Amino acid sequence: KAGVTQTPRYLIKTRGQQVTLSCSPISGHRSVSWYQQTPGQGLQFLFEYFSETQRNKGNFPGRFSGRQFSNSRSEMNVSTLELGDSALYLCASSTQGAQEQYFGPGTRLTVT
């Protein structure tokens, strides 16, 4: 079974721009979560989607948004980028609820 894939793997953007990151979960997984990983803040939960509905959200500003499609693929969008948004963005999928998550390799976003 193919693992979680994320595109693009690397991205360089300028302050004020917006960016869209994509995640394809493991086949059959309907839950997709997004995390931001930085050296200073560690791994922080952004949001979780299940069956195209956002089920939970972390403490991030409204500039961070996401969606999930009917095939469980998910995208996250960050608008009006700030330098502090530079991070590794990880996507994870799971079958449901409390089960373990399987992570993609991440998208490394650099904001200049």
Partner 1 sequence: AQSVAQPEDQVNVAEGNPLTVKCTYSVSGNPYLFWYVQYPNRGLQFLLKYITGDNLVKGSYGFEAEFNKSQTSFHLKKPSALVSDSALYFCAVRAGRTGGFKTIFGAGTRLFVKA
Euclidean distance between CA atoms 105 and 17, whole angstroms: 24
* Using rule CB under 8 A, residue 102 touches partner 1: yes
In eight-state DSSP terms, residue 58 is -
Applying CB under 8 A, the span of 12-20, 39-47, 62-70, 79-87 interacting with partner 1 comes to 39-47
Query: x/- string (CB under 8 A) for partner 1, residues 50-89?
Result: x----xx-x-------------------------------
Residue 13 dihedral angles phi and psi, to the nearest 5°: -130, 165
Which one among 33, 36, 72, 74 touches partner 1, defined by CB under 8 A? 33
Cβ atoms of residues 23 and 91 within 8 Å? yes
